[in-house]
Structure 1
Amino acid sequence: MRNLIVFISLISFSSFSQTNTEVYLFDLTTKDNTFNLRNQRNISNNKGYDNQPSFYNDNIVLFSSSRNNQTDIAAYNIRDAKVNWISDTPNGGEYSPTKIPNQKNVSAIRLDNDGKQLLYKYNYNDGNSHELLKNLKVGYHCWYNQEVIISSVLEDDALSLIVSNLKDGSNYTVQKKVGRSLHKIPNSNLISYISKENETWEIKSLDPISGDTKKIINTIPEAEDMCWLINGTILMGKDDQIFKFDPKKDDDWSIFYSFKDSGLNNITRIATNSISTLLAIVFESK
């Protein structure tokens, strides 16, 4: 029952059971303007919920992972092929672990057994934590800089996009009805988010300082899991395919990579490192 509550609160707020997921890591290479994924490895290799990867740096992948009937922050060391644990919260679980800019520490959403759900800061070395945003039921988040956080916050059974300033304690709402994917747009001062205001979902950009927003493109139908490559290309996964779109030169989505006949299916998350040489992808496991 607790797993179902976690999934409802953090994922889509609808009634369905949680499936097993695994985090896979690939080397991302480019030759003659063609992308290739190589050196596939399962870095979670764990029964249960393994999801929401992000890159701490070019050698460490953070993700949420089930152990001992709870969900903790795992840190996979690529060079050593070893998982270390940042958190161990017996009365709760951590989700969406993310490196804090210009710090060694990590932020993550913690859902306690009593239903309390807040964004916390975790010491990378010892796991000690404290609240970052009080009174905001954060589902997903992205750092603009070390003082400004953009969050998808649960309000009235839907997600709202809220910009929070840790320095002055202010919060302002940008938009109601948004999705879970929040990302810094490379080589810009903008954040991308998924707008669900209309029947057709849209990827939009946000200037967190001015509040200005702009449509980039419609999402792949009913998909919202995406990331940005360093060259400004968007990758979006659905089922057993990854699609790509470059706002600078493309008119529509095209297939980036297909996992057909690979045994890997139902992409639920996708993330890349800062220089786009690695790709972490979450698949549902059978």
Structure 2
Amino acid sequence: MKKHFLFIFLISLVLGSQNLYAQGSYDLISLETKKFLGQFSIIPGSAKKITDRQGYDNQPFFINDDQMVFSSSDEKGNFDIFLYSFESGKFTNMTRTSTKNEYSPLLTDCGKYISAVTVEEDNSKRLWLYPINFGEPELLYDDIEPVNYYDWYNNIAAMNIEGEPNKLIYPRSRENVVTLAENVGRSIQKRPKTSQVTFLDKGANVVINGKDTYEIKAYDLEENVQSNFGVALSGAVDFIWLDKNTLLMARDQELFIKKIKKSQDWVKIAKVTMPGYGAISRMAISPKSNRLVLVMERNEKE
């Protein structure tokens, strides 16, 4: 990493590459939201494009109520982490690497780093830490790879490690790496205000209305027990927690919530339609739950 990482770079996201079309093009869409008497809702007519281009803008995560990080590709097929400010509308390079690719950015528990799965020059996929003050990056867990997805609890990353089957692990120490589950989905989410890490169990599935459906499970990292929150939304693989007891998933262009304390079925709360866009995949919610960011796939063909 060179010294120019100490400076902030603002760039225009007017990019494009035929190499990216094969993996799909995605944009980030912002929605205003509100909670009233415990009910979460989308404010009609609030949808706004954050990005608008052929290319990969994906994996959003709020680091505070005004700023969000995400993974984005350039015209050469390189992937970097960007910071977006809702107040200024500006994009900032968190990384600018020509020989590495960065994905799945999150804010660490200490708040000093943006973590990211980094594909290195030899194709190793390990977790790196990128200081928010643009200092030199640090490699974390040098002996753990290939990392797919992850989330944080108590300054330790619970990581989905590629394999047959993949494994969800939690390294309590270098000598004590605990396997929490096997054959899990790509959403690894800490349940708010708990010591539980949650995931989709893809080891067994049922078919509901012709769509694959998986169970949502949790592993309590303090109690060392597993629990079950019922079935996920059929045909969907991404979920987030809106609060300790409310899950959000998307199927096609529709959003659904589930109240786990009430053993509630999935309830549709909105449909998000935008010309030129198809299904919703990943999602991110702001800390105050007043803004939701969706990843939507572009339908347009070049």
- Length-normalised TM-score, structure 1: 0.87
Which ranges of 4 or more aligned residues in structure 1 deviate by more than 4 Å? Answer: 260-263
Q: 1:190 aligns with which of 190, 196, 203?
A: 196
Deviation track 1:145-191 (CA, whole Å, cap 9, x = no partner) reads 21x211111013x42111123x5553111111001111121232212
Query: If you compute each CA radius of gyration, which structure gives the higher value, 1 or 2?
Result: 2
Report what 1:240 is aligned to: 253
Q: Distance in 1 between matches of 2:114 and 2:192?
A: 21
AA partner of residue 74 (structure 2): R
Distance 1:34 1:277, change over 3 A: closer
Asked if 2 retains the 8 angstrom alpha-carbon contact of 1:87 and 1:127, the reply is: no
Report what 2:163 is aligned to: 155
Q: Distance in 1 between matches of 2:244 and 2:215?
A: 21
Q: 2:83 aligns with which of 66, 70, 75?
A: 75
AA partner of residue 161 (structure 2): V
Compute the displacement of 1:97 (Å).
Answer: 0.3
Compute the displacement of 1:262 (Å).
Answer: 5.5
AA partner of residue 108 (structure 2): I
Report what 2:205 is aligned to: 199
Compute the displacement of 1:106 (Å).
Answer: 0.8
Q: Distance in 2 between matches of 1:168 and 1:115?
A: 23
**Where do residues 101-140 of structure 1 align in structure 2 (5 Å cutoff)?**
101-126=109-134, 128-134=136-142, 135-140=144-149
Which runs of no fewer than 5 residues in structure 2 stay unpaired? 1-16, 207-213
**Where do residues 131-280 of structure 1 align in structure 2 (5 Å cutoff)?**
131-134=139-142, 135-146=144-155, 148-156=156-164, 158-165=165-172, 170-200=176-206, 201-230=214-243, 232-260=245-273, 263-280=276-293
Q: Distance in 2 between matches of 1:87 and 1:218?
A: 38
Deviation track 1:225-258 (CA, whole Å, cap 9, x = no partner) reads 1111126210001111111100112431110211
Asked if 2 retains the 8 angstrom alpha-carbon contact of 1:226 and 1:271, the reply is: no
Compute the displacement of 1:260 (Å).
Answer: 4.4
Compute the displacement of 1:127 (Å).
Answer: 5.5
Asked if 2 retains the 8 angstrom alpha-carbon contact of 1:54 and 1:62, the reply is: yes
Report what 1:47 is aligned to: 54
Asked if 2 retains the 8 angstrom alpha-carbon contact of 1:237 and 1:243, the reply is: yes
- Of 38-47 and 194-203, more deviation after overlay is shown by 38-47
Percent identity over paired residues: 27
AA partner of residue 44 (structure 1): T
Asked if 1 retains the 8 angstrom alpha-carbon contact of 2:33 and 2:40, the reply is: no
Q: Distance in 2 between matches of 1:47 and 1:213?
A: 41
Deviation track 1:66-87 (CA, whole Å, cap 9, x = no partner) reads 1242110011011111111100
- Length-normalised TM-score, structure 2: 0.83
Q: 2:67 aligns with which of 43, 60, 66?
A: 60
Report what 1:11 is aligned to: none
Which runs of no fewer than 5 residues in structure 1 stay unpaired? 8-15
